[in-house]
Amino acid sequence: MTHPKEERTLIILKPDAIQRGLVGDVVSRFERKGLKIIGMKMVELQDVLLEAHYEHIKDKPFFEGIKNFMKASPVVVMVLSGIEAVAATRLIVGPTKGFEAAAGTIRGDFSLSMQSNIVHASDSVDNGIKEVARFFSENELFAYKRNDFNFINAEEVF
């Protein structure tokens, strides 16, 4: 990270985003906001990783359906960095239930579902740290300063 207030957050573009050809649309929303992509890759999720990621619900009766959904196709995982990155991404993504999400959010524009809701975003700074470490090694992440950083974060640098 290049600024002391920068945070990292994990984003997963879920199978529905991949199958519907929405990767570019979703990624561009984060970039236009001013967040930095510091890591990105396409992966096939395996049971062990899904059970760790969804530890908080793995004993629920609906977990098997979520696990099968997340394994239905490859996903794109990425790490975004920026000042208040976690809060910014949660705002861009919208509420979990797509049918409750406001127009203009990713879920509000592309989802009507709770499960097929296009994207996962870390829900706290602490979870962002844990989730990034779960999906990426440090050598897969890149530190750099966006050329437009001073204009996106003016109160932080001027």
Higher pLDDT, 156 or 31: 31
Helix (H) or strand (E) segment spanning residue 38: strand 36-43
**3, 53, 56, 120: which one is catalytic?**
120
Q: Give first-to-last CA distance, the chain, whole Å.
A: 19
Q: Are 44 and 74 in contact (CB under 8 A)?
A: yes
CATH number, domain 6-146: 3.30.70.141
| Confidence check: pLDDT of 42 > 90 | yes
Does 120 participate in catalysis according to the annotation?
Answer: yes
CA distances to 34, 35, 61, 93 from 149, in Å? 8, 9, 45, 22
Q: pLDDT tens digits, residue range 93-124?
A: 999 999 999 999 999 999 998 889 999 999 99
Taking the domains of the chain in order of start, what are their residue ranges? 6-146
Whole-model pTM over 0.85: yes
Q: Evaluate if residue 1 carries a pLDDT over 80.
A: no
Nearest to 76 by CA among 106, 110, 119, 116: 119
